[in-house]
Structure 1
């Protein structure tokens, strides 16, 4: 696919650099990569009158996640081809592929020592060993460039299986590293002993949390993709962008398994439930007040049973159901609805106090294994249960109309 200049920044993922007289070989590579669902910048044959060739190439290169550099004895003699590939080398996005046999004497000194895929006998088949090697290198480059950008605190992003995917995957927000005081002091109204002793927790690693609780739209999208998930009852309140409810801790783990499979993630860098410490750190967003917006809670700040006030706020009315996730206020980290609407499962086992709790952000996996922690309060909870420090728990098989979940991911 040829990408127009005014769409380069959004559309281009892979740039193919080749000498025009060897176009036939490059076309085979282009078509094979395109079958994987990636968009390609291949040539500039559709430039309009007045378009600048050097400017278009420069924009396309800088917008690409990977440059596939076609290598041949001829390619190393072509100034434009070498200019493209040297820039790609500087940007650390070059992935070479030999389309004609090359020797050490052919390869330009700047590229000496760089491994490359051998496509000299490529017949267009996805199973060709050289093409398999090329795709692995491309996928590593894309993952690396994606995660480098995602490491910036405040970055919002989502994983999709490929460029053409229509699956509804969660929007993630990267959080800054830092430390905070977990729990509530005895002076905090309606706090209890389960929130003490207060203790310092340091999160020295980069991680992300979904901006919103997982929605019915995302849950149903996973089911339509074949995920082995139960139908989640919406109580007649509506699906779409409302938070999914009536899902157990075990159901949440099944959704996460599907999400990791579709995203190609495994091990400790895959999706997971947040630890309780991560959840509170994310909710507080640098604050130590009962709520991220202060010491009081009003009906305009969260979805909850406001018939009993907390702090200096006036009492309001009870609510009858959840609300769409995007309608909820965001905190200083850009996370929406951390107080109220739905209570959210965490990874941790329940412990009745913080004596012996991890201080590094890890989930606490010893304790009452048949009770799992949830946080944040819900639409039918009174205000004090929505506090940043407030804790709750249920058996991992519990499905109830006020509990959902978010997902986390470590880099």
Structure 2
């Protein structure tokens, strides 16, 4: 069978090698560090980003030799005898070989035949035309070989061998000169790729003077735009730099990690890889900071202050300046002796003497805050002033949520207690028809805001201050520990949770999911909207929502600023003048009016402020007021 130059196979399929190119084709496989030769973060130290990082274990990529990297020898046409007797036959043979795309592999292929014919009959127009067509065909095959370099590493060798043929046939022809230049550029690009891969494995990724891997791969792309091998090499270089950043981060050296990431970001600036790595490392850093904080807090529960201080020292070294986790842990270490066996943020429930468990409690940190409204606070009232500093000498356990209907039901079932609304047979509910709160018969703690049966996970409403205190007393009897209503100071302290702003979340509208407030986007079942509400806010609720439906505050407590307002232990006073300075409840024996704190689902923005307070008859029951309890620790 007569040999001919084959078509170049499409991407992803092998090419059929011609007799002229019976050489093994080896492909280079560039495997990113994540797949092959990845340094072990436990044993490979993070390096200076300006160093070449030589001497680290394992290659960054795996490299196999390019096929036939030796120089392609010059092509010489085989001798083909032509004389007057066989001239016509040779012309027919040449035309047939050209038609069959049998171009130069053997003496009876088109180009050797036409060259011999041209030597014998230089003026023959048919010979000149045939040779021109054969040259064009071989150049087309050469261009196809160049186009296949990304998928077939043997293609460059074929293109070079075709170049040798074209150079012998018509070295001065413009098409040949241009083709030879293309082959030269492709060859130089592959040489640059090889240099880049060697530099990459030598950890010379970014080196001054253009000798690093990145410079070599960019040179390959300059010579041959879109070169897949070069682009893959840049990806590997970027990956190696990111890996160094990860190694630095694993050693808590986030400054070095950022230096590595800055270098990685310049390798492929149009890609998001380095930015994604920066986000991952930032999350790792945040997680590490949080973990150190948690380790420190855990050490405090064991009363191991030395361990807690060691964790704090590491945290301060790796955390951004002013990180709240460091501030929190430092505060907890300083005040650890005030918590006994509890720890800040600890959640627990206690067994009840008659079975079951009490409400979930969360330990909030002791500390100090400024209670009341600031002198310049908008919508503040005289009853919220004068503001004053309050300090708590011990931590406090607070029910994470408002007491629910189900929890209050357990109390009533166990004791037979009759709540105020049950005894008098009515309470105040929301009336959809009028959009107002109205008195309705047959409503008590088992009812929701509209007087319908309430689900067990809703906060209990239609309870008086005395009902709330009775529930707390029952918990004390059942657990053997002191449960009570919070003092007004304790409530504002847990509501603010470290903030001193107008609202617990700041000075503007609440962030999404912050709580059940009066939002301009809220809509009642009948299509009503609030006239005085937070602009742009909605919480998908009209009336109290299930407890814990919205974000917890910094002390991991829910619904202090919204959902339902809450009874506290204090008697009502028109201002804070002569109020206790230690945060204890301000109680006058026999007082008729108690204090309600915290906004509700139906409170105006003004009434959702952290400093807002209201005096109400202790026997009042309605659809907006519930309660939560605290426990001494």
Change (3 A) 1:386 1:367: farther
Confirm or deny that 1:370 pairs with 2:592.
yes
Confirm or deny that 1:303 pairs with 2:513.
no
Q: Quote the residue 2:560 is aligned against.
A: 338
Alpha-carbon distance in 1 for matches of 2:376, 2:615 = 23
Alpha-carbon distance in 2 for matches of 1:318, 1:161 = 35
Are the counterparts in 1 of residues 461 and 624 from structure 2 also a CA contact under 8 Å?
yes
Change (3 A) 1:328 1:316: closer
Map residues 11-410 of structure 1 onto 2, 5 A cutoff: 148-149=340-341, 151-161=342-352, 165-167=355-357, 169-230=358-419, 232-234=445-447, 235-236=451-452, 238-265=454-481, 270-298=482-510, 300-306=513-519, 307=530, 308-310=532-534, 313-314=535-536, 320-366=542-588, 369-410=591-632
Q: CA deviation at 1:190?
A: 1.3
Change (3 A) 1:237 1:342: farther
| Secondary structure in structure 1 of the residue aligned to 2:475 | helix
| Secondary structure in structure 1 of the residue aligned to 2:548 | helix
TM-score, L = length of structure 1: 0.59
Q: Quote the residue 1:95 is aligned against.
A: none
Alpha-carbon distance in 1 for matches of 2:538, 2:343 = 39
Task: Flag as ranges the 4+ runs of structure 1 deviating above 6 A.
Answer: none
Alpha-carbon distance in 2 for matches of 1:323, 1:315 = 16
Q: CA deviation at 1:302?
A: 2.2
Change (3 A) 1:196 1:318: farther
Are the counterparts in 2 of residues 341 and 379 from structure 1 also a CA contact under 8 Å?
yes
Q: CA deviation at 1:317?
A: 8.8
Deviations 1:215-260 (A, max 9, x none): 0010111222235243514221632111000000011111112111
Change (3 A) 1:237 1:385: farther
Alpha-carbon distance in 2 for matches of 1:166, 1:319 = 30
| Secondary structure in structure 2 of the residue aligned to 1:174 | strand
Alpha-carbon distance in 2 for matches of 1:302, 1:171 = 19
Deviations 1:110-138 (A, max 9, x none): xxxxxxxxxxxxxxxxxxxxxxxxxxxxx
Q: CA deviation at 1:410?
A: 1.3
Alpha-carbon distance in 1 for matches of 2:472, 2:575 = 28
Are the counterparts in 2 of residues 378 and 386 from structure 1 also a CA contact under 8 Å?
yes
Which protein is richer in helix relative to its size? 2
Alpha-carbon distance in 2 for matches of 1:320, 1:204 = 39
Are the counterparts in 1 of residues 463 and 621 from structure 2 also a CA contact under 8 Å?
yes
Which protein is richer in strand relative to its size? 1
User: Looking at CA atoms only, which structure, 1 or 2, has the larger radius of gyration?
Assistant: 2
Where structure 2 has 5 or more consecutive residues not aligned to the other structure, the ranges are: 1-302, 304-338, 423-444, 520-529
RMSD: 2.5
Alpha-carbon distance in 1 for matches of 2:412, 2:516 = 28
Deviations 1:143-193 (A, max 9, x none): xxxx954x211110111136x9334x2111111110100011132221111
Are the counterparts in 2 of residues 182 and 198 from structure 1 also a CA contact under 8 Å?
yes
Alpha-carbon distance in 1 for matches of 2:543, 2:468 = 21
Alpha-carbon distance in 1 for matches of 2:343, 2:622 = 36
Q: CA deviation at 1:316?
A: 5.4
Q: Quote the residue 2:148 is aligned against.
A: none
Alpha-carbon distance in 1 for matches of 2:589, 2:496 = 25
Select between 225-234 and 395-404 the one with higher mean Cα deviation.
Answer: 225-234
Change (3 A) 1:368 1:182: farther
Q: Quote the residue 1:16 is aligned against.
A: none
